[in-house]
């Protein structure tokens, strides 16, 4: 049998694509998409803490083992790695910050009007 070895750069690209596919197909990312899509108010923006509470209730095992399964120790890091969401911060009345996210428009049809 003939064995072909790809150059390192192509092997690394293939590995990155597999990791991204695995992450995007996870239950936790699917739930985050659902949460974002259900948030009609605020143009789809959702507080990350609100999503975290929903995930704790619906997928506690996924959240507990997120680091081992996906290599991310925070929901924000996981969301950013999926490349499916926009992430933003806003100031709170007491001077702190809170993180918001929404499903990105990458797949939507551009508006040229």
Instruction: State the pLDDT at residue 3.
Output: 63
Inform me whether the pLDDT recorded for 112 exceeds 70.
no
State yes or no: pLDDT of 111 exceeds 70.
no
pLDDT, tens only, 47-63: 999 999 999 999 999 98
Task: Give pLDDT, residue 11.
Answer: 73
CA–CA separation, 35 and 47 (whole Å)? 10
Model pLDDT, residue 101: 94
What is the torsional sign of CA 32, 69, 83, 73?
positive
Give tens-digit pLDDT for 7-62: 777 777 777 788 888 788 899 999 999 999 888 666 779 999 999 999 999 999 99
111 Cβ partners below 8 Å, 6+ apart?
A: none
Burial (CB count <10 Å: 0-12, 13-18, 19+), residue 28: buried
Whole-model pTM over 0.85: no
């Amino acid at each position: 049998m003939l064995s072909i070895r790809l150059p390192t750069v192509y092997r690394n690209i293939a590995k990155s694509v597999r990791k991204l596919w695995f992450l995007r197909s996870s239950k936790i990312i699917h739930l985050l998409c659902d949460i974002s899509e259900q948030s009609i108010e605020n143009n789809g923006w959702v507080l990350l803490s609100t999503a975290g509470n929903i995930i704790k209730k619906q997928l506690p095992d996924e959240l507990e083992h997120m680091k081992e399964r996906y290599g991310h120790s925070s929901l924000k890091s996981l969301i950013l790695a999926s490349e499916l969401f926009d992430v933003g911060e806003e100031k709170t009345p007491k001077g702190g910050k809170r993180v918001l996210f929404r499903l990105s428009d990458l797949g939507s049809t551009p508006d040229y009007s």
